[in-house]
Amino acid sequence: MTITSPTVLCVDDRPQVLELRKAALESHSYCVKVASSTYTAINMLDERIVTAALNYFILINLGAGSAVRRQHPIPCPYAFARSSKGLHAPRLGPILLLLVLVLPLFAQEFVPEHVIFPITDFKPDIKHLAPFSMKFGTGFCLDPDCRFVGTNYHVAKVMGNYVRIKGVFSAHRYLDSDPDDVGARDINLAGGGSLMYTPAHDLAIYEMRHPVKNFHGIGFDADDLENSPEGDIYAYPFNWNPKRGLVHWHGKFIGKTPQGLLAFSYEEGRVRGGASGGIVVDSKTKKIVGILNGISEGKDRIALAVPIKELSDFVTRAQPYLEATLFPKTVFVSPVAADLYPTYVWPGVDGLSQRPAEPPEVVKLRRTAQHLADSMRNFTATETFAWGRDNREPEVTDAYETLILDGWQRWRRQGDKEFFDNVPFPPLNNSIVPGPEWSQLPQMVGTELNLKIHQAPDAVVGGRTVHVFQYAANVEDRVCGLRSVMNYVFFQRSTTKFYNCHGEVWMDESGIILRISQALALSGPWYRWWEVMTYGWLEKDGTQYLVPVTITTQAEHKKTYWCRGLFTDYEMFGVKARLVVPTCDAAELAGLKVCADSLTEMSRPTKSALRALPGAQ
């Protein structure tokens, strides 16, 4: 069949881009259909024969013989194309080549309506016996997929732990300030009342359960502003109409305030309440340079914004997994980076021989690792988890309060009283749950004499020198173990086995352990276990503590399943008294249910676990 006027379907959620493509194709005598969503496009494909479908994720060209081919530079469900044998479109090649060159430019186009959005809380006010209460703020997409939303600290405090944005509920909230921070001030809010916080740390992040559809993040510029650059301010202020619209002000950078905020002068209109959490975009680069957080006192039109440098530092602390994507220049130790060196092969030993003395550097490493394990025995924190597979977005996220008392870690859901000895498995057929490896791995490096340790050459990571040590143990050494759980219909079967293992320990030049990894040679049905722990400094009440920051685990079971954990909201404490549990005989006389003999099993440290349904993919 020969078609004289090929039909091209353009798919894009940006009307101005659709109009440009339609005009360009129609000028070359093509019949053009447009669709603003995947759903509409699929229906149109079912109703008529379409020569090709275009959007900015797909490049379509003509191969030899004029047959339509598809090329997917980025895996994406929004790419469609249909062809018929013998289909001819002699002039489609040049125009598609033009689109191939132009579309990447449009993919980077800044459309404010797809980057920022209003945050609103509207519900009955039972606390103040009022019919209802309304809270307004502005948020923006932090990451390219818009699974993380940025706003101000004071907006997040007013909104609460959880929000709903464009139909998507949040899973967790991260705050950059605290009433007890140095420099915290009592600041009046536009809607009434006041809050104690540090203006330069007026930032918060909401982790959403799913990406916000049809929204995406754009780039950031963390460099210092110079030469009075011009900027555009975007926000959703409240002007006595609950259905707020996007407002744009054009401003000019005039300097920094004593509190470290960026100051922008603007001419038209007024920045009002509800605009907090908006963005300031460089007029030339179209990158975000500040997060709008207030206005100056007085009649002058001056808007204040938190610098992106502070946002970068906040992301490093609150979401290290995002740091490499948003601020690659600041990454030092990535929580998902691979080991630096291939597995070290130890020289063989003939027969029985005396254990050789370890080099001074290895002895120092063991002492440092033991000290790290001993210093992390009493604290509480919030531990968030994200589970997924392969290179996909997380399928499930969850958060638990974790209590570490004298080295014994337990978990409970936020607000519950019941503690778990292990992290509960997520509602997935195949999944991984981490245990207290953040404590067990430094303990293993410090005390397991069957663990062989070798110092590798120093490396430069993130512009800084890192001392690298490699370790390994065999299955007969019974050093590296893992718990596997098989789910059957009416019961579970759990087994713990030991495996050959190896990994790396990274230390900085001051002798602080930054990262410990471990790889296990699993024998099935799971394979290639790999996990990474990172550590960082926490300052509380003027005291610095070295604490676990991230815990990343993954293993293969036909697909690669992973779990990414993050520690936040630490509270440190010391133990000056110790409960003495009576012996079994004394407990029996006193009518107690717990005795010293059962305490060993109850407080035994747990291990990471793998779970699979028989036959699950």
pLDDT at 36: 66
Cα three-residue angle 235-239-240, rounded to 5 degrees: 140
Whether the domain at 7-107 and the domain at 360-579+607-612 fall into the same CATH topology: no
* CA 533 to chain CA mean position, Å: 15
pTM (predicted TM-score): 0.71
DSSP 159: H
Domain 7-107 - what CATH class?
alpha beta
CATH of domain 360-579+607-612: 2.50.20
| Cα–Cα distance for residue pair 174/566, rounded to 1 Å | 11
| Cα–Cα distance for residue pair 57/247, rounded to 1 Å | 30
Q: Which residues, listed in sequence order, are joined to residue 120 by a DSSP beta bridge?
A: 136
pLDDT at 117: 95
Tokens 């005989």 correspond to 585
pLDDT at 103: 42
Q: Count the neighbouring beta carbons within 10 Å of the beta carbon of residue 396.
A: 16
Q: Are 217 and 227 in contact (CB under 8 A)?
A: no
pLDDT at 17: 66
Instruction: Give 216's contacts (C-beta < 8 A, 6+ positions apart).
Output: 114, 115, 141, 144, 145, 146
- Residues 45-62 as b or e (16 or more Cβ within 10 Å = b): beeeebbbbbbbbbbbeb
Per domain, the residue ranges of the chain are: 7-107, 112-309, 360-579+607-612
Splitting the chain (617 residues) into consecutive groups of 10 residues, what average pLDDT does each group show?
A: 64 67 75 70 55 40 30 31 36 44 48 93 61 81 95 94 92 91 85 86 94 93 84 87 84 91 86 88 93 80 93 91 84 87 83 77 96 94 93 89 92 89 88 90 94 94 92 92 71 81 95 95 89 91 90 93 93 65 50 38 50 52
Query: Any idea which fold 112-309 has?
Result: Thrombin, subunit H (2.40.10)
| Cα–Cα distance for residue pair 577/593, rounded to 1 Å | 22
- 307 burial (CB, 10 Å; 0-12 / 13-18 / 19+) is buried
pLDDT at 138: 95
- Residue 337 has which token pair? 């980076």
| Cα–Cα distance for residue pair 277/172, rounded to 1 Å | 18
Q: Is 478 helix (H, G, I), strand (E, B) or coil?
A: coil
